[in-house]
Amino acid sequence: MLAPYFLRHARRRAGLTQRELATRAGVPQSYIARVESGRVDPSVSTLANLLRACEMQLGISPGSGESLDSTMLDRYIKMAPADRLHALHEEAGSLPTPPSEQS
């Protein structure tokens, strides 16, 4: 179940509290807390709506083993190379640790 990690990362990246996200998404704050704690596993459409409220997209691509986030790609292409490297370095440091790698 990766929804808690995706949602928490998206919310923090957007600079939102659980209450602010709940207001944007039209759900109770307690629902956001239950998703982030792993007590509720939202449907794909619900997770997509919550991520959209964080100004992110949930994408599904063919099973080629490779994926592409065109939103991020477009943003990075518009940056100067030095700014792009700095932004990528910052983003890599803020990625959530998958459950299988946590101790």
Tell me which residue of 97, 4, 98 sits closest to 50, measured CA to CA.
4
Q: For CATH 1.10.260.40, list the domain ranges present in the chain.
A: 1-60
Instruction: Please list, in sequence order, all residues whose beta carbon lies within 8 angstroms of the beta carbon of residue 36, skipping any fewer than 6 positions away.
Output: 4, 7, 8, 11, 18
pTM more than 0.75: no
pLDDT at residue number 47: 94
- 69 has pLDDT over 90: no
Condensed to tens digits (0 to 9), the pLDDT of residues 7-65 reads 999 999 999 999 999 999 999 999 999 999 999 999 999 999 999 999 998 876 665 54
Please tell me the CATH code under which domain 1-60 is placed: 1.10.260.40
Which two structure tokens, joined as six digits, stand for 47?
Answer: 């997770």
Residue identified by tokens 């964080």 is: 54
